[in-house]
Every structure is written in C-alpha cells, then in structure tokens.
C-alpha cells in the first residue's frame, strides 16, 4: 500500500476515533464494541473488495495471492461496502439497531476524513470550474472543483448532525439508517464533479439511499406501533 493511501487510512481512522470517543464518552463499553465491530467489518470489506477488483481485472487471486496486498492496484468499493455492512450486521446481530446507531456518526466522520485526506494525496480536484475557490492542477491553467473537499465538508457536517440527533433518542436504527442514506447521497451528489463519470458507482449510491431511508421509515413505524394510542 502506498504511503499516501496509508495516510488516508490514518486520517479516516483518526476522524472515526475522535467522533466515536466524543459520542460515547460516558459509555466506554459501547465505544470498544463499536470500534471492534467497525475494524472487523472494514478489514473484511477491504479484502472482499480487493478480491473483486482482481477478478474483475482478470487476475486470479489463487495463482497470485501476493497481489491481494497490493491495495493500490484497485478495490471494488461497491463490493467492499456491501461486505462491510454484511459483516457488521452479523457481528451485531443480537443488537443490530442499537449497534448501528452507536457507530453511525463516527462512520460518517470517517468517510469525511478519508475524503479530506485528498490534501495528502494531491487528489482533491474534479471537473473544470470557474468558481472563485476552484484550483488548477500543477502545470495546468484549467481550474477545477475541489470535489473531495466538498464531500469531506458534507460528511463532517452530517456526522455532527447525526450525533446531535442521536442525543434526542429517536427510535433504534433510525440514526444508522440515516447515516447509510447520507453516505449514498453525498457521493451521488458529488459524483458528477469527479473525473471519469459513467464508471457505474451511481447504482451503489442510489441503493444506499433507498436502503437507508427504508430503515428510517420502517423503524419509525415500528416504534409508533409499540406506543399505546399512536
């Protein structure tokens, strides 16, 4: 893995850990459980996403096992995200909705940290723009949207909003569902500003939005049915 990618992982982990600590200062057991589940899910997702990318690129992981570690060679982010969610759901199966809510603000902040790390990799810019804050690549006169900064700011603002919402104690699972919808929405909205539009990730982002909103609606309705007179 390149050092720049390691730096991105470090920034994402730092953002995740900081928000998780702030959000669970009075619940250390909840914090440890959330960290452990997130770590296992992230590792499993990275492994599955790398395998999918290798197979999709025509590389046999059985005959080239060492290539699995070359993460910079590509990771199928859709498969990685889906696998992470499935592994998380399995590890938290006894208290899924509460576990999802516990992890939601920190997970969204971690995504914000990942996008903000574009500053380390020099990979913040997207499509051409004449806006005052647009910047040009070195050696170019064409100014471009700092699209990764847009995404980072949106994710960090969403993480703060989710943390505040969580303190109001909405029905279990609602904050987690909202986090999934936010993750898909931010990426879907910013995708047209990234180079290489048309590679196909939009379907994954749309699925995340639909799934997240479905969880919000269903969990809200379930909570209302349990309240007498609701």
Domain count of the fold of the chain = 1
Does residue 162 form part of some domain?
yes
Give residue 1's pLDDT band: very low, low, confident or very high (50, 70, 90): very low
In the chain, beta strands by DSSP E: 135-136, 143-144
Domain boundaries, position 69: 3-225
Confidence of residue 195 (pLDDT cuts 50, 70, 90): confident
Chain centroid to CA 56: 22
Kindly report, residue by residue over 54-91, the tens digit of the pLDDT: 898 888 888 888 877 776 667 788 898 899 999 999 99
Q: Is residue 230 part of a domain?
A: no
Q: How far apart are CA 38 and CA 50, in angstroms?
A: 18
Q: Among candidates 27, 193, 48, which has minimal Cα distance to 106?
A: 27
Burial class (CB in 10 A: 0-12, 13-18, 19+), 65: exposed
> What does each C-alpha distance from 190 to 68, 142, 162, 193, 202 come to in angstroms?
29, 19, 20, 6, 10
Residue 152 belongs to a domain: yes
Longest dimension (CA), the chain: 67
CA distance 155 to 104: 11
Would you say residue 100 lies in a domain? yes
d(CA 224, CA 171): 9
pLDDT tens profile 90-142: 999 999 999 999 999 999 999 999 999 998 888 899 999 999 999 998 888 89
Asked whether residue 77 is assigned to any structural domain, the reply reads yes
Report the C-alpha gap between 7 and 10 in whole angstroms: 5
């Amino acid at each position: 893995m390149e050092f720049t990618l390691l730096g991105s992982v470090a920034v994402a982990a730092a953002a995740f850990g900081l928000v998780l600590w702030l959000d669970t200062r009075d619940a250390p057991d909840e914090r440890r459980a959330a960290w452990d589940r997130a770590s296992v899910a992230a590792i499993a997702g990275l492994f599955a996403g790398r395998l999918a990318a290798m197979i999709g690129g025509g590389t046999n992981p059985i005959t080239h096992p060492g290539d699995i570690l070359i993460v910079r060679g590509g990771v199928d982010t859709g498969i990685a995200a889906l696998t992470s969610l499935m592994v998380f759901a399995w590890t938290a199966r006894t208290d899924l909705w509460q576990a999802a809510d516990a992890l939601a603000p920190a997970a969204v902040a971690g995504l914000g940290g990942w996008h903000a790390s574009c500053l380390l990799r020099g990979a913040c810019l997207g499509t051409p723009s004449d806006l005052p804050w647009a910047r040009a690549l070195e050696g170019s006169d064409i100014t471009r949207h700092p699209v990764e900064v847009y995404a980072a700011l949106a994710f960090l603002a969403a993480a703060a909003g989710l943390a505040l919402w969580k303190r109001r104690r909405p029905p279990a699972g609602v904050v987690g569902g909202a986090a999934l919808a936010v993750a898909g929405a931010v990426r879907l909205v910013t995708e047209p500003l990234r180079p290489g539009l048309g590679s196909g990730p939009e379907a994954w982002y749309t699925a995340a939005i639909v799934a997240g909103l479905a969880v919000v609606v269903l969990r809200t309705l379930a909570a209302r049915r349990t309240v007498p007179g609701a």
